[in-house]
A and B are shown apart, each in its own frame.
Chain A
């Protein structure tokens, strides 16, 4: 599966300078979250609703507003204005939010000292302010109120140890009284509102609904300078209004908070979700009704609620969000080619309804943002397979540049989606169109979609290697907008291929790649594909072909391709580990193979002329390996007397080179330790499809052991071959570990039993004794028999 992250375009035209920047769904993105990203969800009219757009793995596209690490942008901005810009937001953040209550407490107590050095800009400001005392006491108190929610346990390691401050109801009650006193002593209207908020909040924490409502009315005064804190108090009041039974007013206030405080939108939403209001008569409260339907549509059936909202307000911003969420999912399902899951069927079933809604909107003269609804119309036509109609819809005149660009993307996507065959020229035409159109080429979503489709076409035609190389994974996920100077080729990374190259060793595929590399005439797309292969393209493909044929035991072909590798040092080293032609009864990870092997190959110095190499991850020379295998094969056929020994060595080689052998890296391109192929399917939790033997090397090893057993008259070799046969057989024995951790085998499968039986017949051999000493399995077999 291609992994293309859905990132939504930030359209500066739709954003006011300071208002809320859209945070991408993938802010903490997980590559592969979105496969398709053709629709720009930020086409909706109200940027403050961006967080409610469709996010694959998150409820909200975080964050709401320009929230900093400690507080909302709006709140900091209010303070900034209060300080007449003498302090920056950062000064306020560092001055108020970073210090603890204890820091403020110390400030309050120390500031009168002549030697006191202000520690923050905020402290410096306060000390010079004409209302120093008021500011100081307000901040100290506000910090104390924060103890209700955090830091209170730090007090236990301070001079406040054992002085319950913000833990019990009684503590909060005292703080509430303290707040009332502070309010009456404070003159500054801005600070009074801030203290008013603390009063309301404390009453809220004390769970006093009516009292909270009363205090809100008494202590909170709306003014532009204190808008943020006013609405924050209102939010708590709204909850308490609900608890007092005044649900409509509660909803009305929640709506006001929702509309006025960006960073509280999600919390208001969650509050409303928990406070049932379905049964309210909202006939005279259209705005509240609209918000509720948005809420229910966001969490429930978006189409039904969309219809309800549009009945109230055809120009509703909320309706645009619900529609956008629906169409975003729909286009992803459609262009991602996954129309068959149950969940997605719901979308398809709704198409007719949604198409009707869209038509109504387009036919409604009061609807202002018809171009958006027209985009939606085009998508419904695409999904219904009406490509011609869709193209017409998208090619009509769009006055808004953003919508025009979006329409152009869908016109192009329609062309791409219609490609059904590996028509390299048609594919190339679309590639050229992509490259030649700024709006398309400058968009990672469009690029990703095109290459995803091309990869799919190659894969469907059996060219998985090329498909793997067309895996478009842009490195810069901050935006779908392609950065200036971006090199197209740098966005591809064939990770699937590079981590599991052995899975791509298919003759036809390799030959197709070779043909593509060597072709004298190539399309632009093919040039791009070839450019993504390693620089030594010929050596790269010849080495793979050689490896393929070597694994297939077609040694003639293997030698031929390895001989064509001009720079073999890039692929393998000079010699081979001769010990791979010997066998080890047990293989311990902390002992070198040579040491634990029977060193059988040492008896044939004429064949193994290169120095002994004793390294675990040595890259064996594949050409020399192929030649050595070929020589042994020939010797076995030519020298009947010693044929058993040669076959035995061939059996050893193929066992050791197989996915179960010590030399697995040689023919598997292993570059990762996380290889699960040792697990056989169903054998344990790690078993997976990948655990299936991926080559016929083990069967080949078995055949050679059989031949060795038959051809040799040497009882030692016979015993070794019998053991090799049992070792190469993949069948299940019934076994478990006893309480002492000893493996108990109760029932040996037939193939193992035959090999062991043959070995048992050779009990006078030296090898037999070695097996008894080292192989607990065999010992268990003997005990059971």
Chain B
């Protein structure tokens, strides 16, 4: 047995020991809709799970061609932010990778940090909220790494960030960023959230489930063991329908109830309507449109749990995406609890 084989055994043993001694997973959720909504049933769910954090998307930042720069969209609207109660609200800002791609110099990343920090600061002030963490969600690449990381570092230097009480920073991390960490880098934040969804090729006609494709996960998950940043894990609790026409990707229909597909014809993995018409109240399907319904269930998530558990080298908590989805509504608190403890 050579040196490396011995090392492998040691690491495996350590992993097993870590797994055995892991503490109970804390369960959190993402809130991703623009109008902040926390119904009684959702509050009850959070209470039952003793869920202490709600990762709430505050706004998106996209590149505006007309303004030649990044601008926010879909800023959250609270009717009453106090309904959050004791749950800790964590602002999340989604930034498209294009924003960083379009930057010509690093100072633009610093400006972006100021604008985003100020905007979060204003929203917190307006809704009288205190936060302990800010999270940034961006599918950065090797090409945008420098700009994105400059942005993340610059956040900490903002006056408005200081005024918030210097909350800790976290960032979402896709599986390819875990696997190719040398190329894409480790974001300069306090912790990460490794996303175990949107792993497949959503626009590919041959894809079976782009939300959670275990074959794809398998290609990446082993790298988890070596990821140096403290992280939590984000899991999918949502569905969508992916529309194709003549094999070409057309649209994504979010959160369509599964029952809506009962009225459709099915061929292979795809649903279709024989004639053009309204589908699931809000959508319209053309003749020839085909839909792939993608979702997750307890079985699939359990299978994922096995894979993550096998490679995760640290304790982590679970954040489900997202609280207000139809899929989340199908899971009881007990089911979620049970599922979560498999990780």
Residues of A within 8 A of B (CB): 109, 157-163, 174
**Pair B75/A163 contact, Cβ less than 8 Å:** yes
**Does B71 sit within 8 A of A, measured CB to CB?**
yes
| A159 near B126: Cβ-Cβ < 8 Å | no
Q: How far is the CA of A122 from the CA of B262 in the complex (A)?
A: 67
CB <8 Å contact, A159 and B67? no
Closest 4 CB pairs between A and B? A162-B75, A161-B72, A159-B115, A161-B75
Q: B137-161 toward A: CB 8 Å interface, digit per residue (1/0)?
A: 0000000000000000000000000
Contacts of A161 in B (CB 8 A): 59, 71-73, 75
List the one stretch of B6-14, B117-125, B265-273, B317-325 in contact with chain A: B117-125
CA A158 to CA B71, docked complex, whole Å: 6
Name which residue of chain B comes closest to A115, CB basis.
Answer: B107
Q: Which residue of A lies closest to B76 (CB)?
A: A162
B79 CB to closest chain A CB (Å) equals: 11
**Once bound together, how far apart are the Cα atoms of A109 and B73, in whole Å?**
21
Q: Which of B73, B114, B122 contacts A163 (CB 8 A)?
A: B122
Residue numbers in B under 8 Å from A159 (CB-CB): 71-72, 115, 118-119
When distances are taken between beta carbons in the complex, the residues of chain B under 8 Å from A174 are: 126
A576 CB to closest chain B CB (Å) equals: 62
- Among A159, A161, A162, A163, find the residue whose CB has the most chain B CB atoms closer than 10 A: A159
A162's nearest neighbour on chain B, judged by CB, is B75
Give Cα A157–Cα B114 distance, bound, in whole angstroms: 17
| A159 nearest in chain B by CB position | B115
Q: Verify A162–B118 contact, CB threshold 8 A.
A: no
**Chain A, residue nearest B122 (CB):** A163
B184 proximal to A (CB < 8 A): no
Q: Would A157 and B71 count as touching, CB distance under 8 A? A: yes
Q: How far is the CB of A37 from chain B (nearest CB, A)?
A: 52
Interface positions, chain B 65-88, Cβ under 8 Å from A, are 67, 71-77
Give, as a whole number of angstroms, the nearest-CB distance from A358 to chain B. 66
B126–A162 contact, CB under 8 A?
Answer: no
- Which residues of chain A have C-beta atoms less than 8 A from B115's C-beta? 159
Give the contacting residue for B114; candidates A109, A158, A160, A162; CB below 8 A: A109
Contact of A162 among B64, B67, B77 (CB under 8 A): B77
Complex-state Cα separation, A163 to B67, whole angstroms: 19
Report the Cα distance A609→B310, complex, angstroms. 112
**A160 CA / B120 CA spacing, docked (Å):** 10
- Chain B nearest Cβ from A247, distance in angstroms: 39
Residue from B64, B67, B72 whose CB has the most chain A CB atoms within 10 Å: B72
The complex places the Cα of A174 from the Cα of B123 at a distance, in Å, of 13
A159–B71 alpha-carbon span in the complex (Å): 6
A174 to B118, CA, bound (A): 18
- A163 with B126: in contact, given A157-B67, A157-B71 (CB under 8 Å)? yes
Closest beta carbon of chain B to A182's beta carbon, Å: 15
Chain B, residue nearest A174 (CB):
B126
Flag B260-285 by CB within 8 Å of A: 1 or 0 each: 00000000000000000000000000
Taking A162-B73, A163-B123, A174-B126 as known contacts, 14 extra A-B pairs with beta carbons closer than 8 A to each other, sorted by chain A number, are: A109-B114, A157-B64, A159-B71, A159-B115, A159-B118, A160-B119, A161-B59, A161-B71, A161-B73, A162-B59, A162-B74, A162-B75, A163-B75, A163-B126
- Give Cα A162 to B76, complex, Å: 7
Cross-chain pair count, CB within 8 angstroms:
32
- Tell me the complex Cα distance, A157–B62, Å: 12
Contacts of B118 in A (CB 8 A): 109, 159
In the assembled complex, the Cα of A157 lies from the Cα of B64 at a distance in Å of 9
**B122 / chain A contacts, CB cutoff of 8 Å:** 160, 163
Interface 0/1 of B307-338, CB less than 8 Å to A: 00000000000000000000000000000000
Complex interface: chain A residues within 8 A of B75 (CB): 161-163
**B74, B114, B119, B123 pick with most chain A CB within 10 angstroms:** B119
Which residues B22-60 have CB closer than 8 A to chain A? 34, 59
A109 and B115 CA atoms in complex are apart in Å by 10
Chain B nearest CB: distance from A164 CB in Å? 8
Which residues does chain B contribute within 8 Å of A162, judged by CB atoms?
34, 59, 72-77
Closest chain A residue to B69, Cβ basis: A159
**CB contact list, B204-243 vs A, under 8 A:** none
Cβ of B119 and Cβ of A163 under 8 Å apart?
yes
In whole angstroms, how far apart are the Cα atoms of A174 and B64 in the complex?
30
Chain A residues within an 8 Å CB radius of B67: 157
B156-195 CB mask vs A (1 if < 8 Å, else 0) is 0000000000000000000000000000000000000000
Contacts of B74 in A (CB 8 A): 162
Closest-by-CB residue of A relative to B112 is A159
- Residues of B within 8 Å of A160, CB to CB, are 119, 122
Across-interface contacts of B114 in A (CB, < 8 A): 109
Expressed in whole angstroms, the minimum distance between the Cβ of A703 and any Cβ of chain B is 71
- Cα A159 to Cα B72 in complex, Å, equals 6
**CA A159 to CA B111, docked complex, whole Å:** 12
Chain A residue nearest to B66 in the complex (CB): A157
Interfacial chain A residues near B34, Cβ < 8 Å: 162
Binary per-residue interface labels of chain B (103-134) against chain A in the complex, 1 for a CB within 8 Å, 0 otherwise:
00000000000110011001100100000000
Chain B residues near A157 (CB-CB < 8 A): 64, 67, 71
CB of B147, distance to nearest CB on chain A (Å): 18
A109–B114 CA distance with the chains assembled, in angstroms = 9
Bound Cα distance A157, B73 (Å): 9
Inter-chain CA distance A160–B67, complex, in Å, is: 14
CB distance from B82 to the nearest CB of A (A): 14
Instruction: Report the separation of the CA atoms of residues A157 and B67 in the bound assembly, to the nearest whole angstrom.
Output: 8
25 A-B pairs in the complex with CB atoms less than 8 angstroms apart: A157-B67, A158-B71, A159-B71, A159-B72, A159-B115, A159-B119, A160-B119, A160-B122, A161-B59, A161-B71, A161-B72, A161-B73, A161-B75, A162-B34, A162-B59, A162-B72, A162-B73, A162-B74, A162-B75, A162-B76, A163-B75, A163-B119, A163-B122, A163-B123, A174-B126
Contacts of B72 in A (CB 8 A): 159, 161-162
Q: How far is the CB of B74 from chain A (nearest CB, A)?
A: 7
Distance of A298 Cα from B34 Cα, bound (Å): 55
The closest CB in chain B to the CB of A161 belongs to: B72
How far does the alpha carbon of A660 sit from the alpha carbon of B77 in the complex, in Å? 70
Q: Which of A157, A160, A163 has the most CB of B within 10 A?
A: A163
Instruction: For B119, list chain A residues within 8 Å (CB).
Output: 159-160, 163
Chain A contacts for B73, CB-based, 8 A: 161-162
Chain A positions within 8 Å of B71 at CB level: 157-159, 161
- Which chain A residues border B76 with CB–CB below 8 Å? 162
> How near does chain B come to A175, taking the closest CB pair, in angstroms?
12
| Measured CA separation A159–B59 after assembly (Å) | 11
Task: Tell me the bound Cα distance from A163 to B58 in angstroms.
Answer: 11
Chain A residue at minimal CB-CB distance from B75: A162
* Chain A proximity of B91: nearest CB distance (Å): 13
Q: Which of B73, B74, B75 has the most CB of A within 10 A?
A: B75
CA distance A109 to B113 in the complex (A): 13
Shortest C-beta distance, A211 to chain B (Å), equals 23
With a cutoff of 8 Å between Cβ atoms, the chain A residues found around residue B126 in the complex are 163, 174
| B328–chain A nearest beta-carbon distance, Å | 25
- Cα distance A159–B122 when bound, in Å? 11
Smallest CB–CB gap between B94 and chain A, Å? 14
Q: A181 to nearest B CB, angstroms? A: 12
Which partner residue on chain A sits nearest B73 by CB separation? A161
Give A491 to B338 CA distance when docked, in angstroms. Answer: 98
Bound form: Cα–Cα A64–B254 in Å = 59
| Alpha-carbon distance A160/B59, docked complex (angstroms) | 11
Within the assembled complex, what's the spacing in Å between the Cα atoms of A163 and B75?
7
A139 to B74, CA, bound (A): 29
Complex Cα distance A628/B334, Å?
A: 112
A162 to B58, CA, bound (A): 10
Q: How far is the CA of A109 from the CA of B72 in the complex (A)?
A: 18
* Shortest Cβ distance from residue A4 to the other chain B in the assembled complex, whole angstroms: 52
- Tell me the bound Cα distance from A157 to B65 in angstroms: 12
**Complex alpha-carbon distance, A163 and B72, angstroms:** 11
Most chain B CB neighbours (cut-off 10 Å) among A157, A161, A174? A161
Nearest opposing residue in chain A for B58, CB measure:
A162
Bound complex: CA A742 to CA B112 (Å)? 67
Residues on A with C-beta less than 8 A from B123 are 163
